[in-house]
Each structure stands twice: as structure tokens, then as C-alpha cells.
Structure 1
């Protein structure tokens, strides 16, 4: 639990090396990486750690390959997740980590071709995967409907419980000397030497660097980078152990996930270590209310049961919504603000924030500390937004 390192009041002009705004999984990962590097870090978060967009994520750790930059970031981050878990086997239980693998389900011959193309890309990057024909798919996941063409199994994809992972990353940051300030950041400041943050309680906190890592809420502080709300619905069932074994995603999900407008749903099913079944996914642009949309929810569930008919017999125990922060090109903003010195962005991860949190933290830390990153950082720079409005 967070006790002595949590502070409710700050002295005016308190100075840190880095202030991280946001206590979701991105902010906590950034704080942990920076604190481990020896920097004096303050995290500003008024609410539950991992209680915002993080809590509305399925926790799927998945390699995505819509473009080279997405593949580089997601595959690097999965390497970091595996290293974090294998470093101490107790960590797997703490994160509720499970290497279940992902099966990209192909409904027909056209989608099987898409699966084969995906296989070639992933294998070229040494990512373990294999094609499944219709019978092999049926053997691995008998709950899937008959008549599907097959699929692609990506073996090292995994899952975690996102709010718990955010909390663990925060604890790691605090263990390396970071401080948590339970306030809302309402404005950015500049005293001529340092960047600063003004909080709702009137406190002003200055630092050499400010990291904005609070998802869609970042638009309240930095409004010159294009970000859109992308609302999603989630459903979780009662406990049905071994109902499915892998994360199951339709290949049509890729088109849905990267659509630039309109409402969409896709089949996305996850086995939880608890025996529960997690059901997604939906996307609605520019919808900002949290209420359940029964129309879109019905479509999402109908899509899910069209792939797994027995889902209709399971008892759902909770339904909720969340907001992803979406950039125009689908890549997050990670790096220096294009015009404000010492201001760093770590937002716009849309549906890949859980997956890419650790890599985001590493490449941001590398830039702040002027170190060379394992992957090229330029594709994620916010400066590209100049051509995206």
C-alpha cells in the first residue's frame, strides 16, 4: 500500500527533475523507468491508480503490425514484459500475467490469406507463430463455431490485469525514490528556468522536465496536438474455467481498430486467470459520455456470439465503458512537444497502452536522459502532428 511516500500538500516552488502527470499504466511505467534511472520524480494523480483508461483495457499484450512503427513498439514492449515477469516468478501472479497466446481467427479464405501475410511479417521479426487450419483451430478452441477457415496463433502474446500492473509499476517508482502527489494538474507553468505544474489545491511544482501521460485528459493541458475520444464497451462474465484457452480475435478487428470514423464492433474474447471471460470490443469516435450504449453493446455481443455461440449461455456480471485517446495516424505521441521545451508527451496510445506501456517508458526515459534507444524513436514524436490536423 502507498503510505509514507504519498503527499497531500506540496510547498510552492518545490523542484523535481521530472514531474509525470497521470497515474495510469503509461504514467506509472514512465515514473518507474525514470526513477530507476536515478532521477527525482514526482507523479501527479488525483484519483485511483490505473482507474481511468487503464481500467477499461482488456490487458491484452499483443504484437500488432499495422505498420513498422507499431510493430517495433509493440514487439519491444512485449520483450520488456517478458523480462519483467521472468525476473521474478512471483511477478506473474502479482500482475495476473498469463501467456495464453492470441489466435487471429479467419472466417473465410480471404481472411486466411490475410493471416498468411501476417505470419510472414511476424516470422520475419522472429515472433513465434503458426498457421492453424480449420480442424486445428477447432481442436484448440472447440467453443468456436463450425465453418471457420482457420487462423494464426501468435504464441507469446499474453495478458495482465491492468489496474494491478499500474499499481505495481507505481510501487516500483516509489521504491526508487519517486513521490506521489494526490492532486489534479490544472495548468502548465514556466518560471523562465523550469517547467511547472499548477494543481487544483494551488500548489505549484517545478521540474526540469514535465511528462504529460494522462491519456485523453492531456487535452486539458496541451491542446495543440490532435487527440480524439474513442469510447469502448467491455463485458465480463461469471467464472467458467477453461471455457476458452487463448485470446481470440477476428482478423476483421484490424480494420475496426484502425478505422478513422464511425462506430464499429469486433469479436475479441479473452480468458481470465480467474476463469472469467472478457468480451470486447467496440469503438465510437467523439462520444464523451460514460453511459452504456445498448445499441452498440448489443451489436458487440451479437458479433461475439456469432463466433462463440455458447457465450449466450454465460452470465455477465459487469459491463462498463472507457475512453481511448486516439491520434490521427494510430501511433502514440512519445517524445518532446514540438514547440514547448522540456515538455514531453506520452499519450495517444488508443487501444495499445497496456501492451506498449513499458516500451513507451523506456524510449521516453532514453530521450530525457539523452541515451540511444533500442528502437528508432522518431516515428512517435509529436512533431509529426503538424501535418495531421
Structure 2
């Protein structure tokens, strides 16, 4: 299908990436967001670009493709944007995953072996090398794996840069505009009714993060995207003592779990500003924004298992956000067969920043008919009507 005008709902990093990629392909794009750009999930994450937490399969393939696109992005943006535009703070810091128990060690080493067979750099390191990578790490290390491909970016700066690049090619970004309903011509979606008038287009792409289910419902379909709450502690600035993204091996299990109850695991990393970010938590409790001491206490206690020196660190603040959760733990990327003209790019949960560029490439390939990554064979795994999601579509209906 060749589309000359596309309406993108959501100005977070996924929507920004899609707008830029479509604009580069010559498409007229309008981006709508009920709030500010990067005002939702994108502003409340840690900026992770990870392959270390993904097992073999479609999501890992998308992560690997996205990681390649992230490597090229700074050079591409330098050609697009003024020299004084804020830096992306893209840092190829790598990751270190640590098991602090014998059981965790066995699981970690088996997981890393499967990843290596899928092309991931997952280097098992001994205690001496682990100490070189992270001198202040706990002595209670039963196994460690170094992931040199992991990286971090400043997500708000990246979102703004992607949108600025899209604007340079004619994209219109409208903030404070809420989508209220769809516009149809026969059976086809041809635009949206908003709080600031109608916006028409040949296609509508919903990239509204955890609010995508609400937007999809207003347009006429049900999509089982739900908010999954996460909380992060931020320390005061200190000398740089954490050199990679470091997390406990149980983090992968928390990511893959569908349990609605609170789950926490140790994730620790430094920022360019000198603070230390401490996560992570996952809990499905709707759009409840309250910060709770029970969650903060678990995060702090588990971080001390990895880095005992944090016992003397002052906590400067804490913040939370909502990840877009889908029951089968895969993003929803592509056209909706129930409503021609509607496309989805959502459900990435905590991986949206890292997967944003690959997601944009898939959407642009599909919307414009461009030959590209969609022919790689894994695009169908993200389809709305995939077998693992169909039962949940029926539940949502």
C-alpha cells in the first residue's frame, strides 16, 4: 500500500522514530500527542538499548537490527540538525549480568549460550575479569556474563532529535491534541477526530505506549495493551563507580513474567551526570502513579546485594512510569486486519527505546510498500492476529 499522508498518534520515541522514517521515505506525516513530546513512557525510562535481556526469537532479531540503526543514528542526525542541538548521550557502555547464587548461575550460563547461538556477544567472564569490569561489585559472584553490545541513550534528547529531523522534512507535530474517535470512509479508517478538529490521512499509526489500548478502542478496535508500572531510584551525584549496566540474572525472569503482582530485581547503572539509577520494578496496577515505600525499599535492598557501597549513597529522588504490556510479551507492529487504514506500533514494554528504530523501519516498509527489513521473516511475529495474541484479542473484545 502506498500512503501519501500518515497520522501518527503518540510523540514518544516510537512515534518520533516512525515519523522520521516515514518522512525520510517521502511521506507527509502529522504527529499528534495529548501531552508534550516524550511526556509518557519515554521520559520515565533509563534509555536502555539492550540485547542482553532477550532470548532467541523475533524480539531479539528486532533488537539486533535496531542496535545497528542506533549505531548509525548520531552520524545521520549530525547531517540533519544544528551543531548546538543537545547530545543524545549515546554510550556504548556494555552490560554485565551477574548471578549471586548457584541456581542463578546455571540459568544465566544456559541463557547466554542460547543467545550466542543467535549471534549475541555474550562473553562469560571469570572473577578476575569481572573485577576489572566492575571493581566495586559484590564478592558474591557465582557467574557473570559481559554483553559489550548493550548501550544507553538519553531518551528525551533522542526523541526530540528524531522529531526535529522529521520536522526538517515537513512533519507537523501537534501537542496537546487528544484523539477522541476515528473517521471512516466505508469500512476504512481515514483519519481521527481530535480535541482540536479532524485530522485525515491514508493511514493512522497508533504509537501511544501504554495508552494505545485506549486509543485503539476509540478508533473502533480492542487491543490488549495495559500499563505495567515501574519505579527507579536516583542517587545523588558521586564519583563514577558503576561502569556498565549491571543487573542480577533474575531480571530476565521478571521481564518475561506475566504476573500482575509486584516483582523487583537488581538493575544498577551510572549516568553521565554522575548519579546512579537503581531499578527495577514491575507491577500491573492500572495508571496508579503513587510511589510506595514497599517498592523503594525492595529496590534499595536488592541493589545493595550487587553494590554494597551504595549503603552510604544518598537518594536524591525516585520516579515512576508505565510500560506498555502485552500478554504474550511481544510488541504489536503492523496493520490491523480488522480495520483497514489502522496500524499499531506498541506493546514494547520496557524495550521501546531500544526497539524504536527497528519498529519504525518495519512500519515504514509496510505502510509504503518499501522492500526492506519486513522481508527478513520476523515481521509476522509482531502481527495483531498472531496466534499467541488472538485469544487475548477475544478476551479484550
TM-score (norm 1): 0.91
Candidates 49, 73, 83, aligned match of 2:62: 73
1:325 aligned onto 2:324: yes
Distance 2:317 2:185 in 1: 47
Shift of 1:254: 0.7
Which residue number in structure 2 is paired with residue 5 of structure 1? none
Candidates 221, 246, 249, aligned match of 2:247: 249
Task: Please say which of residues 257-266 and 236-245 is displaced more in the overlay.
Answer: 236-245
Shift of 1:222: 1.4
Distance 1:27 1:178 in 2: 12
Which stretches in structure 1 are left out of the alignment for 5+ residues?
A: 1-14
Determine if contact 2:21/2:361 at 8 Å carries over to the other structure: yes
Distance 1:86 1:23 in 2: 23
1:212 aligned onto 2:206: yes
1:382 aligned onto 2:380: no
Shift of 1:194: 5.4
Distance 1:330 1:294 in 2: 28
Which residue number in structure 2 is paired with residue 113 of structure 1? 106
Shift of 1:70: 1.5
Which stretches in structure 2 are left out of the alignment for 5+ residues?
A: none
Determine if contact 2:189/2:339 at 8 Å carries over to the other structure: no
Secondary structure (helix, strand or coil) at the match of 1:20 reads strand
Candidates 221, 232, 235, aligned match of 2:233: 235
Deviations 1:22-71 (A, max 9, x none): 00001001100101100000000132211211111111110132340111
Secondary structure (helix, strand or coil) at the match of 2:201 reads strand
Shift of 1:128: 2.7
Shift of 1:116: 2.7
Distance 2:318 2:236 in 1: 12
Task: Please say which of residues 322-331 and 177-186 is displaced more in the overlay.
Answer: 177-186
Secondary structure (helix, strand or coil) at the match of 2:278 reads strand
Shift of 1:86: 4.7
Which residue number in structure 1 is paired with residue 276 of structure 2? 277
Distance 2:319 2:192 in 1: 32
Determine if contact 1:133/1:149 at 8 Å carries over to the other structure: no
Q: 1:54 to 1:123 in 2, by over 3 A?
A: same
Structure 1 vs Structure 2 CA RMSD: 2.0
Shift of 1:258: 1.4
Distance 2:257 2:46 in 1: 19
Distance 1:235 1:83 in 2: 31
Distance 2:320 2:60 in 1: 27
1:175 aligned onto 2:165: no
Alignment of 1:300-315 (within 5 A): 300-315=299-314
Determine if contact 1:234/1:321 at 8 Å carries over to the other structure: yes
1:131 aligned onto 2:130: no
Determine if contact 1:237/1:278 at 8 Å carries over to the other structure: yes
Q: 1:125 to 1:307 in 2, by over 3 A?
A: same
Q: 1:383 to 1:253 in 2, by over 3 A?
A: same
Task: Please say which of residues 329-338 and 371-380 is displaced more in the overlay.
Answer: 371-380
Deviations 1:187-211 (A, max 9, x none): 221134651111112x001100000
Aligned length: 374
Shift of 1:252: 0.4
4+ residue stretches of structure 1 with deviation over 2 A? Answer: 64-67, 85-93, 108-129, 191-194, 371-376
Shift of 1:145: 1.3
Shift of 1:238: 1.9
Determine if contact 1:16/1:42 at 8 Å carries over to the other structure: no
Which residue number in structure 2 is paired with residue 336 of structure 1? 335
Shift of 1:186: 1.6
TM-score (norm 2): 0.89
